Structure 1
Amino acid sequence: MELKQRKSYINENINTIYFGGGTPSLLLVDEIRKIIDEVKSHYKIDDNAEVTIEVNPDDITQKYLKGIKQAGINRLSIGVQAFQDNLLTLLNRAHNSKKAINSIEEAREQGFYNITADLIYGIPGLDKGKWEDNIQTLVDLGIPHISAYALTIEEKTVLGKRLKKGKFSPEEEENVALQFEDLVSKLEKASYEQYEISNFAKEGNIARHNSSYWLGAHYLGLGPSAHSYNGISRQYNISNNHKYIEGITTSKPEFTIEHLTDLDKANEYFLTRLRTKWGCDLREIKQKFNLEVNYYIDTAKSFIEDGFMIKEDNFLKLTPKGKLIADKITEAFFII
């Protein structure tokens, strides 16, 4: 229903559809099929479009995999996170390490070869040996795309409440940085390319969905809390499920819209592009946002001298050292 109401938000052909969380694997196969068919009824979908769904290992069955493949899903994002049962328990995950491995093998049996798996580092109790085992397990399983994120603990989550009660201590920042460096080193040796700070791919397996976002493509987000971007504005759906449903059913959806100035667009461009292997093109900054590039060159000088950035022709890029403090570097370039 929301799709029908907002179909004019973007006008491009669709080359990627992404079912993200929440927990989209709770959707019935028929519901997934109906959503994909609804998208097809309003947009031109590329023949080779990437259609991804996030799944938890404990939700995966042969029947489910067969059904979503027939419905049009051709890529899986599996939330593995770790291969140690005690760490999965700490993270409040329902699956165990055996199920995580089985879910990947079952996916392959049903013809899913375009798979990405998530890992988390910076978990209390995750030492160097366990972390390297987690990375190597995915490499040995032949996963073509790996995403890895440092653990963040939100105050109102189960982990946040446990932390507040003193059940565990957060990992030291130095250890988290070392785990990130181990990740980059091991995956590079295994022929994965780090095309974005948290994302690694074998040749030909860079995620279209992920890279479209970082390269500034327009997108339409559907559902509570969903974000959309059309190059002119950014839109955020209301997060409250009841109010979201009420708004959609009465054709009075509740959302916040942010109209973007050239400075807003330039800041977002720098924020997203600097995280990638492609870096920031100074020519684009001048052409798209009508800004002088000398500001960016001058700001970059100290970071280049200290080994955090490099300038290749017209591109500013992070070095491996710079990726450890990417947020701090990006903030220095923001124009307010």
Structure 2
Amino acid sequence: MAGIYIHIPFCRKRCHYCDFFKSTDLSQKARLLDGLKKELQSRAPELASEEINTIYFGGGTPSVLLIDELKDLLNTISEHYRLAENTEITLEANPDDLTQAILSALKQIGFNRLSMGVQSFSESDLKLMNRRHGVMQAIQSVKWAKRAGFSNISIDLIYGLPNQTIDEWERNVRIAVELDVQHISAYNLTYHEGTVFYEQLKKGILKELPDELSVQQFEMLIKILKEAGFEHYEISNFSKPGLYSQHNSSYWKSKKYLGIGPSAHSYDLASRRWNVSSIAKYLDGLENNLAYSETENLTEQDRYNDFIITGLRTMWGISMDDIQTGFSPEYFSHFQKLEAKYAHSGHIINTSGTVRLSPEGLFISDKIMADFMVVESC
């Protein structure tokens, strides 16, 4: 099984925290859509032997596309790839792009999962982040999606915002729970270089929330969502039982995926490939048979490190048998030493040879994963 990711790099407005590749110039939209279809057709042989069980439209803001444009891309995929019977088909969407009619049309053309970029249920936070929608638009879009027949809805939230209090964050989480969505992704704010927030932080306009407050917000998130019946299946992701993001889970479970569009990444177990982060260069490459991507063949060290950072972050953890059979003895020895260290400190749990982060380990997950990784070849 494999997945397809399609990157739609267009946004109507730049959010102040976002460092993903995007453009607010939609003048090249028609040309880009032709390019996406061409890349989908030309790369189909790469997954000829695979059944496609997930399709994910990310961005950018894929919901800026018209229904007919999305339908055209889905038709191209179905014409050139072998789809599983119950393929998960996700659209990332901004609440202000959605109406009852649009949501009904999305369901009709084949989308069965929505990922809504809500980010906050506070008007002041949304204004600070330069989001396009308001709180009531976000709430209404979820209700409309349910009415349209969507039973797998995810919303994104951000915590650790400047001056965000624990009470404000609790209100955000409880509203999300009351909306009865099936999936919640919650991310701690990161100040990425090149974003407005990063520049404002450097100039002293914004002040970073103290780490201890971000940790408190994370603890509250886990507690409330657990009480509401969510499973904490990945560091930043929570779902009702069985309703994990199949697409993102394929990344964490080392499944093949094809990345289509400018800046999109692909993985085939032996190599990584990434397309150029430029609409102009991407289209020029496709239209003139020029290179528009780079490929890196993975060493054993690369594969081991990928296995660590993708597996250890999930509730499924890492099987020590997989380390022993999949890598040289030196890597297994390295893993054993770190497993003993963090099991002793209580930061990981070993259940019948499967190693997972403990609740305490979640709060220092970056450090733990960095320690398990191999910097120099074993």
Q: 2:221 aligns with which of 183, 203, 224?
A: 183
Q: 1:166 aligns with which of 204, 207, 221?
A: 204
Moved more, 166-175 or 222-231: 166-175
Q: What whole-Å deviation, never above 9, does each CA across 1:20-65 have from its counterpart, x for those lacking one?
A: 0111111111111111111111111012110000001111112221
Q: Distance in 1 between matches of 2:193 and 2:334?
A: 38
> Any conservation in 2 of the 1:5–1:251 contact (CA below 8 Å)?
no
Shift of 1:206: 1.2
Structure 1 partner of 2:43? 6
Moved more, 61-70 or 210-219: 61-70
Greater than 6 Å deviation, 4+ residue runs:
none
- Aligned pair 1:87/2:121, yes or no? no
Q: Distance in 1 between matches of 2:210 and 2:46?
A: 44
Structure 1 partner of 2:313? 275
CA RMSD of superposed structures (Å): 1.2
**Aligned residue type for 1:304:** A
> Any conservation in 1 of the 2:159–2:188 contact (CA below 8 Å)?
yes
Q: TM-score, normalised by structure 2?
A: 0.87
- Aligned pair 1:151/2:189, yes or no? yes
Q: 1:208 aligns with which of 246, 249, 266?
A: 246
Structure 1 partner of 2:361? 322
Q: Distance in 2 between matches of 1:159 and 1:96?
A: 20
Q: Distance in 2 between matches of 1:142 and 1:251?
A: 48
Q: What whole-Å deviation, never above 9, does each CA across 1:270-317 have from its counterpart, x for those lacking one?
A: 110000001111111122224452321112222222211121111111
Q: What whole-Å deviation, never above 9, does each CA across 1:157-198 have from its counterpart, x for those lacking one?
A: 222232233222011111111111111111111111001111
Structure 2 partner of 1:71? 109
Gaps of 5+ in 2: 1-37
Q: Distance in 1 between matches of 2:242 and 2:354?
A: 23
> Any conservation in 1 of the 2:91–2:111 contact (CA below 8 Å)?
yes
> Any conservation in 2 of the 1:87–1:125 contact (CA below 8 Å)?
no
% identical equivalent positions: 43
Number of residue equivalences:
336
**Aligned residue type for 2:46:** Y
> Any conservation in 2 of the 1:92–1:158 contact (CA below 8 Å)?
no
Shift of 1:154: 2.0
- Aligned pair 1:296/2:335, yes or no? yes
Q: TM-score, normalised by structure 1?
A: 0.97
Q: Distance in 2 between matches of 1:155 and 1:86?
A: 23
Aligned ranges 1:59-138 → 2 under 5 Å:
59-138=97-176
Q: Distance in 2 between matches of 1:84 and 1:320?
A: 29
- Partner secondary structure for residue 174 of structure 1: helix
- Aligned pair 1:46/2:108, yes or no? no
Q: What whole-Å deviation, never above 9, does each CA across 1:206-253 have from its counterpart, x for those lacking one?
A: 111111110001000000000000011000100011000110112223
Q: Distance in 2 between matches of 1:328 and 1:72?
A: 41
